[in-house]
Amino acid sequence: MKIVLKFPQKVMQDPLLADVVLETGVRINIDRALVDATIGEIVIDVPDERVEEVAEAFRRRGTEVREMDMPVVLDEAECVQCGACVSVCPVEVFTYNKDRSISIDFTRCVLCKTCITMCPHGAIKTAEE
């Protein structure tokens, strides 16, 4: 399962990922990272059976943790099947079907939010909105 980690500035200099890997022994795959002097947001992929253990280890270190069951939401009433999201998604979440409908595999999403920016009808939002 993918989870989103948000690091507050006070722990930005700490090697949190390395510490959690050493503590849990879980191999963590980094899908996306946005880190600078003011913000740290990372999407990681963790084996389903170890998610709670890893999430708790990050929370103990002052990290905000959110599981990505449904990272983005599609409003089908607003979608005009233009296909823009299919083109821009870097991990092929969207598939354009022969009948012009859009199929979605949100388990692949890394929350880059490109589809949200590019959708001309505002049909895609993050699950938090």
- Interaction site with ligand SF4 (CB under 6 A): 71-72, 74, 79-85, 88-91, 93, 102, 109-115, 119, 121, 123-124
Shortest separation between residue 86's beta carbon and ligand SF4, angstroms: 7
Angle at 83 between CA 78 and CA 86, to 5 degrees: 115
Shortest separation between residue 15's beta carbon and ligand SF4, angstroms: 27
Shortest separation between residue 105's beta carbon and ligand SF4, angstroms: 9
Annotate 35-80 with DSSP letters as a single string.
E-SS-EEEEEE--GGGHHHHHHHHHHTT-EEEE-SSSEEE-TTT--
The residue written with tokens 């002097």 in the block is: 37
Return d(Cα 35, Cα 42) in angstroms, integer: 8
**Nearest residue (CB) to ligand SF4, 20 versus 112:** 112
